[in-house]
Structure 1
């Protein structure tokens, strides 16, 4: 994680990380309960409490972000104290959460009866450990200020709810409430996520369409992007890609990119109106990350289909042969590019209007280390959320299965349209 160059915006960046990872940990509690329907009641209660705890920390991070904006000057001392305290709480929560996930692995018979759950919980432990590494990159609490300060009543009140004092458990102990240095509430809310509900239709087949209706110009209002519907049922790509993954991937992850894009667009519009661009780096970063995530996922759903698989034909097949030597050479390079993406990201077959040929690119996250001036044709999402429920850490096996649902007619349609776009070659 590169923290250089943020200057007095470093507190803002810190809060963004806390907000993101607490949302992830909150989601992990939901996924575990969905995957282990017979989970023992004490562990169900434990995960419900963690869900509320993480939601509280996410909410506090949001509150502090709003108070920091527009961040034209370094934060006031009391704000620094609040952020320091939240960093402490977030770190302690993740440490305790990791310990109690090990408790689940060791002591829950229901978890031990579901092999996938064990693999998934280990993955969640790694993610929380990664978040702790992000906080360690920032340094010890106090990096945002030079002198020690008294604890902030604002954060105490914001995080405080009913519950007992600090609790520190070892992995060998029985489950307890997820309380760290910050009191955690007893959760009373029920799971509301639509991502773990059964599909609304039993239909597993989709009617392929090789020609999309013409698109009329209709600019999306600023901050008005919406989540596109899946062009098939959630379970339509099984056995290659499972239903639960599709529900979480589409309904939660893609929706989060849509929401983030809309916020970034509105904030940039507000900056233009006020002629205040102090936060231009922050909101442009949000625009790039969430916008690329939204647009790539929108393509991603369309280039998969239960009627997919096989090889391309026609003009696209000829272009692939011309640019890569053969379909097999293209597939091998694409597969290796996807498998070797460092961390989370994409592999993409793209049309280059400047080079007048097809290329294979990688992208870290959604937007880093790729190229501009290209048109994506066939993107493959290799973020772990795209495959860990079914394939765990076997990205290569996920890629092999993915080839069975690639819908070449949709890719060919994008190619034939993109092929008309030609810039002077340099």
Structure 2
């Protein structure tokens, strides 16, 4: 899916009707090849897992993580804007940071502010339409082959940021509506991207096809990351967020090194002759195809929403419940304070989501708590088996309450308050 205008990317004449650019520069974004889509999905996946690792595993917290990455985004974006030409490392580093930051902004709206995912999805879709509208009115093109002026470059990165936020919101909204696991949910964006590829091959507008696919790679990559990192009991592969992040960062680095050496994705090095001539009549006709694909996707989501959502399977392994009651000090003193603080943060976040009336987010955070607890079992349990078993029982009570097929808020709050009290 390679967006274009009728002009060759090598030409430097202004587009009719657009503002006259004050300065032309080399195109600083990559050619849209199969390598582009591979690395884009890798960046999206590592963005999701890396943010979760900092936020939850390290216990930094959602707001603090968002503030950190906002500062990092400002720095790497300034680096990208100051570059004289397309540099693969700088460009894709910026995409990774934009991916993390856009995701965090949506999570703050949902988890901290209690904004429903339906509202945030609609708001981000409207904001993206405004960005594209302003971009087109000023420049008369949305093609990534013509990012040759500062205004176009700024519009481009603003659009990229909003697409990540929109992809996060719509992806999470899909999970909330359907109750699908991360592994199953990968199939919907993957199928839609395949449909877009087919539409582009049949003559759909390349610019529209590109940006539709760009939005969909966000839920695809995020769900892929969740599937790899989630515990096996939750239908994942159990790699954990840290391992998933390292694996995908290594894959990104290897791909960037290859592109830096081969220069296969440098636009100014191509003559543009391989791009097909636009066919306006066919592009308009293919809009009907995209409308039908959208209608089919909506129908699938409506059907899935109406199906009973399976509750998480109860825990069948682990130690037997411990009947001896321990005081909070007795239960936590044997373990490192940093570990207890991490579990306390995850528990408090889960409680906040329950009180905000967001069961999907509460279940996700409860799963994060379970994952962190299971990952530390090998080091914590030998310290004091009785204290570990007591805390394990209280965490199981939280998981049972939050994951109930028909959750009762009073029961959820009681279980979470009990665990919080124990954790100090």
Q: When you count strand as a share of all residues, which structure comes out higher?
A: 1
Q: Normalising TM by the smaller chain, what interval?
A: under 0.3
Q: TM-score, normalised by structure 2?
A: 0.24
